[in-house]
């Protein structure tokens, strides 16, 4: 295997050094049991002398179900998770919660907040290797996990959640639909932009320059992958890459690296830790409407920027939004609107991400109420924003004109 598998290989070698007959539990997305990515992982483990057992991660809600999975896989010497962000998150959380009744009780505790911080001594006793098959989430490298329950969605944070190793192989996302690729690129951009654009008055720092460099790279790669007339080719049944898509696979690999890097604390300002409003608003909208997370994100993103640019700094710093949008426009080298709100909507359409969420009046009210309860009303993430504020965001003519274009 190439260096995309290097950290994973080192992890397996460390396990083999202590356990001669090592066993690996390979947990995959239910749709990937026969996917080339799963076969590739199984074959790789075999060449490393590791006996593997493949099982599908149940698409269940609730921590108890996840913990049962965790207890099962922790009987192995190594855990390998294969799939998109939601599958990786579930395995990450399952393997940490199952290791400690105290951690499980902590996460189970009912409270209104949408954010759960793991105890500082939480741990994962068995190494986890994450193998992403989608683009954008960066779940393979992050210390966070999204927990979907029957009645809500929460964000769990803690260093213990970060996998011990990750495989960043562009071949494994070859079967994605064009819209999935576009949404993956835009997700990385949104994660980079949120904290950067929420910092209040402060001198530009090294972190800011790193974010701008990452945005340039992400924008250029997104244009190469998603521009009209250039669409990804599916992987053949043997998992090989046709000559015509080899460069595209390398671009996707670079995008995986940017997605992983976008979770780095080196790219975040301390002042902006709770400042980005788009992520919680989009996740609550996706949960209420049953839409994909990035469809919800792209529904709200232009309006959030439009509100900030109109002077409402609760949604972001307008000067920083303008600066970052100019960085992105210059990296893409195509004609896009100068206005950042109109521009990000136009860029999403150019790359093929056309879908938007349409809400009924009751859904809009439910979304706004849930968002404020879980992330505002004295909690820092949506500090200062009320239910009427969020309803105004959805109803504003300027927002509708941008997001519905």
Residue 173 lies in a domain: no
Q: Each residue of 128-180: pLDDT tens digit?
A: 999 999 999 999 999 999 988 888 888 999 999 999 999 999 889 888 888 99
User: 276 and 151, same structural domain?
Assistant: no
Query: What residue has token string 């799963």?
Result: 38
User: 159 and 182, same structural domain?
Assistant: no
Single residue among 105, 133, 168 that ends a domain in this structure: 168
* 21: DSSP letter: T
In 3D space, the residue among 303, 89, 278 whose CA is nearest the CA of residue 191 turns out to be 278
Q: Tell me how far CA of residue 260 lies from CA of 140, 203, 242, 257, in angstroms.
A: 7, 26, 26, 5
H/E stretch holding 37:
helix 36-47
Q: Each residue of 89-137: pLDDT tens digit?
A: 999 999 998 888 888 888 887 788 888 899 989 999 999 999 999 999 9
Residue 345 lies in a domain: yes
User: 242 and 149, same structural domain?
Assistant: no
| CB 67, CB 91: distance < 8 Å | no
Q: Tell me, what's the pLDDT at 275?
A: 59
User: 95 and 187, same structural domain?
Assistant: no
Q: Is the pLDDT of residue 399 over 50?
A: no
Grade residue 396 by pLDDT with cuts at 50, 70 and 90: low
**Averaged over 205-230, what is the pLDDT?**
90
Single residue among 145, 168, 191 that ends a domain in this structure: 168
CATH number at residue 188: 1.20.1090.10
Q: Tell me how far CA of residue 343 lies from CA of 160, 206, 298, 332, 337, in angstroms.
A: 38, 26, 12, 12, 5
Q: Is the pLDDT of residue 220 over 60?
A: yes
Average per-residue pLDDT for the chain: 87
Residue 276 lies in a domain: yes
**Averaged over 267-273, what is the pLDDT?**
56
pTM for the whole structure: 0.90
Grade residue 72 by pLDDT with cuts at 50, 70 and 90: confident
Q: What range defines the domain where residue 270 resides? A: 178-403
Instruction: Quote the CA–CA distance of 405 and 392 in Å, as a whole number.
Output: 19
Q: Tell me, what's the pLDDT at 304?
A: 94
């Amino acid at each position: 295997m190439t260096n995309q598998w290097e950290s994973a290989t080192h992890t397996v070698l460390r396990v083999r050094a202590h356990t001669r007959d090592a066993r690996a539990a390979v947990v995959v997305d239910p749709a990937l049991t026969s996917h080339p990515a799963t076969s590739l992982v199984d074959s790789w483990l075999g060449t490393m002398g590791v006996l593997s057992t493949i099982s599908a991660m149940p698409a269940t809600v609730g921590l108890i179900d996840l913990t049962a999975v965790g207890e099962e896989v922790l009987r192995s010497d190594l855990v390998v998770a294969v799939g998109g962000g939601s599958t990786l998150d579930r395995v990450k959380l399952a393997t940490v919660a199952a290791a400690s009744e105290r951690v499980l009780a902590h996460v189970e505790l009912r409270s209104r907040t949408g954010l759960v911080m793991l105890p500082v001594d939480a741990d994962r006793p068995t190494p986890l290797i994450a193998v992403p098959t989608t683009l954008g989430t960066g779940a393979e490298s992050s210390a966070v996990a999204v927990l979907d329950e029957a009645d809500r969605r929460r964000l769990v944070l803690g260093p213990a959640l970060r996998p011990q190793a990750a495989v960043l192989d562009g071949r494994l996302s070859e079967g994605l639909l064009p819209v999935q690729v576009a949404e993956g690129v835009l997700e990385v951009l949104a994660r980079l932009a949120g904290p950067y654009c929420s910092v209040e008055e402060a001198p530009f720092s090294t972190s800011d320059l790193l974010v701008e460099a990452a945005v340039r790279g992400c924008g250029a790669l997104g244009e190469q992958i998603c521009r009209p007339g250039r669409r990804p080719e599916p992987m053949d049944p043997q998992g090989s890459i046709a000559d015509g898509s080899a460069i595209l696979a390398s671009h996707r690999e670079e995008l995986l690296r940017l997605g992983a890097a976008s979770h780095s604390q080196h790219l975040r300002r301390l002042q902006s830790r709770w400042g980005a409003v788009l992520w919680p608003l989009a996740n609550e909208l996706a949960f209420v409407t049953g839409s994909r997370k990035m469809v919800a994100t792209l529904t709200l993103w232009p309006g959030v920027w439009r509100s900030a640019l109109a002077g409402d700094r609760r949604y972001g710093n307008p000067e920083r939004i303008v600066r970052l949008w100019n960085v992105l426009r210059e990296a893409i080298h195509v004609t896009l609107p100068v206005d950042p709100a109109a521009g990000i909507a136009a860029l999403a359409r150019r790359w093929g991400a056309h879908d938007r969420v349409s809400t009924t009046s009751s859904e809009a009210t439910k979304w706004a109420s849930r968002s404020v309860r879980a992330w505002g009303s004295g909690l820092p993430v949506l500090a200062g924003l009320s239910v009427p504020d969020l309803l105004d965001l959805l109803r504003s003519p300027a927002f509708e004109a941008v997001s519905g274009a």
